[in-house]
Amino acid sequence: MLLCYLNLIRSIPAFLMYFRMSDNGLINEDLKKINQPSTYLGLHRALYYKGNCFRNIFYARTVKDYPLLTKISKLLFPPMFGLGIDVVNGIGGGMRIYHGYSTIVFAKSIGKNFSIYQNVTLGRGKEINGNDIPIIGDDVTVYTGAVVIGGIHIGDRAQIGAGAVVVKDVPADTVVVGGSARFLKRKKRNKSSIY
């Protein structure tokens, strides 16, 4: 029973951020996506039991408004190592990260109900129209091992298949799969090489 109370005490910085936010509706949508109620108990369970992926989303949403409380909360509820989230213009509600290991999320903006799996890279690449990071629409899912780079736009309800490499715009309601590797040139073999 004592452990239960200690865990509630370590949740205080997170509770302060959650209840002081002018609009905690985005976090409520995140909680709903992982089947938790939009209450202090739901937030506590999400931080404590539901793993570090939710923690990373929570901290990405709170760090700009509450940097000190976010740092304190990170000490008490450490975020998942190897999962980075940095979105310039915000993340819509209902974000869900499945596993999240070795995943980088760096985008200009992300729409609502975004889902992402492990070992994914969303990030900087070729500059297109003055932008070098992706813009993600609503209800987009990015599956395991996909790479989405550059100043591209991923349309609403698009699905990026496992292992896909996306360097061009993806229209709405589209499923994309496969890599974009292509043959550049054949290397000349060195005769002194044993391989």
pTM higher than 0.95, yes or no?
no
pLDDT of residue 51: 67
**In this structure, CATH architecture of domain 82-180:** 3 Solenoid (2.160)
What is the pairing mode between strands 83-87 and 121-123? Answer: unpaired
Cβ proximity of 143 and 154 under 8 Å: no
- Token digits for 59? 């901290």
pLDDT of residue 189: 67
Provide the residue type at 15 as one letter: F
What is the enclosing helix (H) or strand (E) of 185? none
Q: Is the dihedral of CA 41, 44, 48, 49 positive or negative?
A: positive
pLDDT of residue 186: 62
Low-confidence ranges of the chain (pLDDT < 50): none
**CA atoms of 23 and 42, how far apart (whole Å):** 17
Residue 119 CB coordination number (10 Å): 18
Residue 4 CB coordination number (10 Å): 8
**CA atoms of 107 and 123, how far apart (whole Å):** 6
pLDDT of residue 10: 86
**CA atoms of 89 and 83, how far apart (whole Å):** 19
